[in-house]
Each structure stands twice: as C-alpha cells, then as structure tokens.
Structure 1
C-alpha cells in the first residue's frame, strides 16, 4: 500500500528528501533544529518524523542492515534473531506509515541520518532501503553534503577519542580511498546506481557549510521567526585526546563519561600541518575529479580544503608521546567513576 499524505495543494503527491550526511558536516545541529521545529515545518508542508530514532532518523539506516551487518544501534535494541530483525523491519514500516497518514497536510517528507553514509557499505543495503522507501513516495531526492576528506578525518579523530579509541599518527594512515567512508566517488556511485543519477544532489561543504541555509530555499522552507540551530561542536582539546590515549594504553577499561568530556574546555584543537594535510588529501584527488566531472552541481576545487587555514607546523606530535603516569591517571578516573556511580544509585533510591 502506498502510504502518502494528501499534499497542501489537495493532490495525493509526496516527495521524499533523504539527507544521508555525510558525517562531520553539522548533521546533529541540523537534525536538532528540524526535530524541535517539527510543528512549524509541518505548517509549511514539511514532515519531519519523530518516531524513527529521535532527532536523527537512525532507524532508517538500521533498516538497511541485517543480522550479518548489524551495527551498535541494532545491538543496543537487543536484537539477536532473524525473527526479531523481521519484527524491527515491520515496526519501522508501521512507524513511518502511521505518521505519514497522520500528516495529510505534508507535501514533503524529510529524513536525515548521517549513518546512511557511514553504515551502508554495499549496493544491496542501499537497494533494500530503496525497496522500502521508493513505493511510498512519488519522488525521492537523495542529498549528500560533501566535505574535503582530510577535514572529515580530523573531525572524526575527536569522535574516535570520545568513544574511547586512541588517536595517533597511524589513525591518518587509514584515511584512504580503499575505505568507502572517504571515497566519495564510489559512495555517490553506489547511490546513483540504485536511485538514479538524476535523483542525487551533491552539496559542497566548502561552498555551503550551513546545510540548513542551503536546504531551506531548496525545499521552500521559510525559516524566519524560527530559532537558529544551536551549533553542536563535538571537537575535543588535543590534550584531552592525549589523556584518553593514556587511559586506553594504561590497559584498564576506564573511560571518561561523555557528559564530563563536554564540560572540558577546548582551547587547542587537533591541527595537521599543511604538508601532511596535502599528502592525505592528494590520495583522493583522482576520484574526486572523476566525481566532479559527472556531477554538474560540483565544480573543480570544491572538494579541496582551504589550505591557508593549515599552519606550517601542526600539533599531531602531542598525540604520539607516551604518558609516564597513564596508570595513575587511570586509577584517578576509576575513583571518580565509582563516585559518579554511587551518586547515580543514590538518586535512583530517592
């Protein structure tokens, strides 16, 4: 059954705009804006679901996965059997269908999940997603916000540290076209092959870093009077990243809670020197040029960073030093983690 709402013009027609990221392009801020302004968007005929994974529509990316390719989202739901996976698929279909039917004034459905970039790695996964979405809508546009790969890698380094991973020079050795996460030519090609090249729109981050500012006129959204999206910056101070390296290498399982990390000042971010930045980005030049050549909305140079922002000397070396007091640091963190756990239990008991 085709689950569409009745558009504001009175016709049974609805378009889907599927925003797939990429990661590290301000997706969290954009999604938070849309989620918190759902009613205002719906008044303008734009439906942003709230039953598909909270602010971001992570259930949409999870729908494309299977038990063999599951991610932490599926694991956190406790899904372990094929029957449970099938029940999850059915639940996502029901959630979207019911919300669409309850929003007859909508002319456009907006779905946004950067995990569609980071978690979907095969044509089969994208095909599964299309098989779910395409019959539901009259038109599908897939929008991807593309940032120079070296900039994505630097931002991803903070995320790696936040989840308890080490970041050293070797982290950047893995930033290669062999990883589809960074290979935009292969990534876009996969989505073009499934949804059709004319259904894909690439937005260069270098030209338009503010995705909402680009999208609003594109979909006919008037943002006047709506609160501006709060900027969400998950970058860590490089010295905090070095501290996390020390914790990991202490051999203990101690981690610093995200909420604590968010309170720590960011005075000195990770910065690559220009020579290293150019070396990393050069790995992607041939594929980027091939992508730009076939995408009319992209122009030469738009997937290259602004090299004037890269200093002659970076600070990556701060992450390559061993910490002589890693064990003592881990013991200190263990102590305060225990204190936090006790406070949580005390709050639960009240």
Structure 2
C-alpha cells in the first residue's frame, strides 16, 4: 500500500525552503520512490488542501478551495501512482480545526498515513513569526512584539504545539506522528531522512524569506501604524533593506524571551513526555542571548533620521 506522508508544518521551521526543494527536484525524489504530486497546488506545495481545511481563500485564484474536491484530487493521485510513498506539504495544516482534520481522516480512511511535523524553540519561533507579520507590506499588522508577551499564543496559534498536534494525533493516532526539531538540522535533510531517503538526494535552494534587521522591521511596523499606503510600504521595505543592512536582528530582552518559553512549558512538557522524551524547550535548559553588540538592535531616532536622509537625497 502506498504510504501518504502529510507534512503539517509548523510555520517558520524552514517549510518554504523545503517545499521549493521538493518542487524543484520532483524527479530526483521520485527516483527515491517518493511522489510529490502536482495536485492541490498553490506555489510550491499542497496549500489548497490546507486552505480547504481552514476555510481560507486562495490568494491568487481568489476562491475558497473545497475539501471534497481537493481531497478527491489527492486520493486520485494516490490511486494512480505505483510509487511506495507520496508526500504532501503545507504549514497551514498545522493549526487546522480538529473537526476538519477529522473530515480529512474520513476521506483517507483505509489508507496508510504518516504525519511529519517540525517544532522550534518557542521564543525564536515567536520572534520569527512576529518579524514576518511586521515586515509584510499591506497586511495591517502594526502591533509591537512586547504587546503579545502576556499571551504569546495570541500572536499565532502555531506556537501552541501541543494543541495543534493533539488535533492531528486524535484523528490519525499518536503512532502516526514523527516529530522533528528545527534546531537538529537543515529542513530538507531532516525531511528526506524521515522519508528514508539520502539527505543529499535533492539540491537545496537559497533562503526563501530574506531576514530584515530589527531597525528595518520596526520601520515597517511604524509605517503601517501611521497608515502609509501599501505602495509606500513596499518602497520602504526595499529602502530599509539597504539602509539598515548592517543592523542586527530584532531583539527581545532575555527576561522577555524567558516569559515566552515559560508560557508554553507545561504544554511542551506534556507533548514531549507523551513521546517518551524530555521537553528540550525549558527555561532552565536554554540559553538566552544578551543585547547584540554594534548598532541598536531595534530602531532608534538616529536610524529614522538616517532613513529620512536617504528619502530626501533620492527626492532631490
């Protein structure tokens, strides 16, 4: 029987790099006995199936994918292949509603299904998610990172690993889940290992989501807070990447990072205990970096004046 592996995320664990590698090397992994099917596609992955689970619109087509149609396309691909393994991927799967995951399980009843998920230390994942939201032009997200510290879960549901994974294991069984950790190696090599393939079976593309410095991210957040147009935000994104290229990443104080880790510690204790291992994401076992050396890690008035100078010089 063909085994279907569903890579469910989470966000900010190298998913885009993995999906680009799989999409660009479909023939290479097919030679290893793994089909990365051309169904349910949005960009490089099977996001339309995940959109159907979450009731999300396809950003390009504008429609809301239908679960029956997308799941039907997947089962047709499973039936048509003679390869022993099929892999589908979307980080949007991770926080899908339990009742929709159960509906997918019903469609796949009688088929062999594996789940692969990757988690990441909560404070690092928190910062990565906040950076992504803050830097994105036109999304209206302008909240300070510190405003989420009382309830880090409110930033993004993917941060609550235990709740998200519980929904999947309730539907498919705990034995179906393979849990990977972002810190244990490159995402492509880890996924290939989980599939039983050589870690160098596919070429790895360059970074998919360019990181911004703390000053650049804060400039973007402030632009949205004061209501600059989306076009102005796009121009600002390009400019800040150049002006603040030598600045360090956005920084939270060590005490703030400890608060984030502590907020998820009970749930992560239970999650890893269920898998027979200790929680690696505990306050007493993690290192928390001090403020980076060099320019201020986040934006300062001096940085804003530098940015204004660049704009004025360009206008002149």
The TM-score, its normalising length taken from structure 2, stands at: 0.81
1:106-141 residue CA offsets vs partner (Å, 9 max, x unmatched): 1101111101114x1x21121122223344x3x111
Structure of higher CA gyration radius: 1
Q: 1:36 aligns with which of 4, 20, 24?
A: 24
The structural deviation recorded for 1:307 is 4.1
Q: Cα 1:303–1:114, aligned 2, differ >3 Å: closer, same or farther?
A: farther
The residue aligned with 2:278 is 299
CA distance in 1, matches of 2:93, 2:103: 12
Q: 2:4 aligns with which of 10, 16, 20?
A: 16
CA distance in 2, matches of 1:190, 1:20: 12
Aligned length: 301
The structural deviation recorded for 1:233 is 3.9
Which structure 1 segments of 5+ residues have no match? 1-12, 337-350
Contact kept in structure 2, 1:147 and 1:204, CA below 8 Å: yes
CA distance in 2, matches of 1:140, 1:161: 36
1:233-253 residue CA offsets vs partner (Å, 9 max, x unmatched): 432111111221231122333
Q: 1:268 aligns with which of 222, 242, 248?
A: 248
Contact kept in structure 2, 1:14 and 1:107, CA below 8 Å: yes
- Does the residue aligned with 2:162 lie in a helix, a strand or coil? helix
Q: 2:123 aligns with which of 117, 137, 150?
A: 150
CA distance in 2, matches of 1:46, 1:179: 32
The structural deviation recorded for 1:181 is 2.5
- Does the residue aligned with 1:190 lie in a helix, a strand or coil? helix
Matched, 1:256 2:234: yes
Matched, 1:59 2:48: yes
The residue aligned with 1:108 is 85
Matched, 1:221 2:197: yes
CA distance in 1, matches of 2:240, 2:78: 36
- Does the residue aligned with 2:116 lie in a helix, a strand or coil? strand
Q: Cα 1:116–1:220, aligned 2, differ >3 Å: closer, same or farther?
A: same
Matched, 1:131 2:110: no
- Does the residue aligned with 1:159 lie in a helix, a strand or coil? helix
Q: Cα 1:226–1:215, aligned 2, differ >3 Å: closer, same or farther?
A: closer
CA distance in 2, matches of 1:144, 1:262: 34
The structural deviation recorded for 1:215 is 2.8
Q: Cα 1:241–1:306, aligned 2, differ >3 Å: closer, same or farther?
A: farther
Counterparts of 1:114-125 in structure 2, within 5 Å, are 114-118=91-95, 120=96, 122-125=97-100
Which structure 2 segments of 5+ residues have no match? none
**RMSD between superposed Cα atoms in Å:** 3.5
